[in-house]
Amino acid sequence: MNKNRIRFVIPLEPATGHVFQPTGFPDVGAATFTRPIGQDGGTVECLLVESAQSMANHLESVGWDEPSQAPAPVLDGLPWVRVVAADDGRFLTSSRLESHRLASAFVKDSTLDGQSMKEVIRARLKLREDTPLDHRAIAAGVFAFDPLCLVHGVFFAEKAEVWPGQPKVARAVTALVEATDIHPVNSGGVKRDVVLHSAGEGTKADTGYGSIPFHRQEFTARSIALHVSIDRLQLRSYGLGDGAAALLEAIALWEVRTLLDQGLRLRTACDLDPIDVPDDLPSADDLEAKVRAGVSACADMLGTGGPLDVVWTRPKKGSA
């Protein structure tokens, strides 16, 4: 670790066998690339197993308790936005689950005590027309709504009339999984239909009937590694004080350590285990204690210290 960055390179291996399925992209497929090695012009074939945006989702997921539809207990005392339905108050989603976090359509199109959340966010982040963005005020406002948005980033990409300046907070923790010296593993299978032996109108493959062969491509690799970088400089740049920066850093480290302890089951056919965990990455228990201490130290800055319930109503057709 250094004063401005915390970096880890953690070797991984498939939990079962030697084959894994990488992330895929529409019209691209697996994200393979050639990387130079050595000084003699040599190269090696590599693969992006999991992208930074997907890893952000995996890291956030360890802090969410799906059965209770609430954050994990270690994050108690931290504010977050809970979106409920206007008709019966049922839970819909939250700033911890949405891809755009606090800037999610479900958050910004909701109301808080009858007031538009667009107006609430604009006021609390001190956004004004014909005025430069006050980045410290933005950080303080986001911290009071949901501090994890300062860890994983948020972009208020609404038209300037709604959120002047369209503020953006970059992710402070970046993680991705790469594999080196890769080789494709091609296989296939068939979805069998043992009932219907001949298809007719209404019973074709696109309706779910029939026996359908398929192919799949997975990979094997000489090495797989999780790369993690936590930007301490960015956490300090929010201007929230040493206590808040330490809390955000502890949250990021706790997410990384917890994900490693649980194993990286990134998808059905991509289940990876760490071969070795860095000695300078504290245990989950130690990091949990740091998070709880940080919450106590920052209590005055954390707004509600719990869920902020906003009410979402389905927009009418044709409404802007």
The label of the residue with tokens 């070797």 reads 11
Per-residue confidence (pLDDT) for residue 320, from 0 to 100: 55
Per-residue confidence (pLDDT) for residue 198, from 0 to 100: 75
Q: Report which of 80, 91, 105 is spatially closest to residue 155, judged by C-alpha positions.
A: 105
Residues 6 or more apart whose Cβ sits within 8 Å of residue 29 = 217
**Which structure tokens are listed for 161?**
């009339």
Task: Residue count of the chain, please give it.
Answer: 320
Residues 6 or more apart whose Cβ sits within 8 Å of residue 30 = 22, 23, 24, 47, 217, 219
Regions of the chain with pLDDT less than 70: 1, 201, 318-320
268: left (phi over 0), alpha (psi -120 to 50) or beta: alpha
The label of the residue with tokens 């360890």 reads 62
Pairing mode, if any, of strands 115-116 and 29-37?
Answer: unpaired
The rounded distance, in Å, linking the Cα atoms of 249 and 174 is 13
**Which structure tokens are listed for 3?**
């004063």
- Residue 181's SS3 state is strand
Name the residue type at position 77. Answer: G
The label of the residue with tokens 């130290």 reads 297
Per-residue confidence (pLDDT) for residue 189, from 0 to 100: 79
> Any alpha helices (H) in 10-161, and if so which ranges?
52-61, 105-108, 117-124, 135-145, 149-152
DSSP classification of residue 27: T
pTM (two decimals)? 0.91
> Any alpha helices (H) in 263-311, and if so which ranges?
284-297
The rounded distance, in Å, linking the Cα atoms of 131 and 27 is 42
The rounded distance, in Å, linking the Cα atoms of 130 and 75 is 38
Cβ atoms 172, 59 nearer than 8 A? no
Q: 263: how many CB neighbours lie within 10 A of its CB?
A: 13
Q: Report which of 263, 56, 63 is spatially closest to residue 169, judged by C-alpha positions.
A: 56
Per-residue confidence (pLDDT) for residue 207, from 0 to 100: 75
Per-residue confidence (pLDDT) for residue 29, from 0 to 100: 83
Per-residue confidence (pLDDT) for residue 214, from 0 to 100: 72
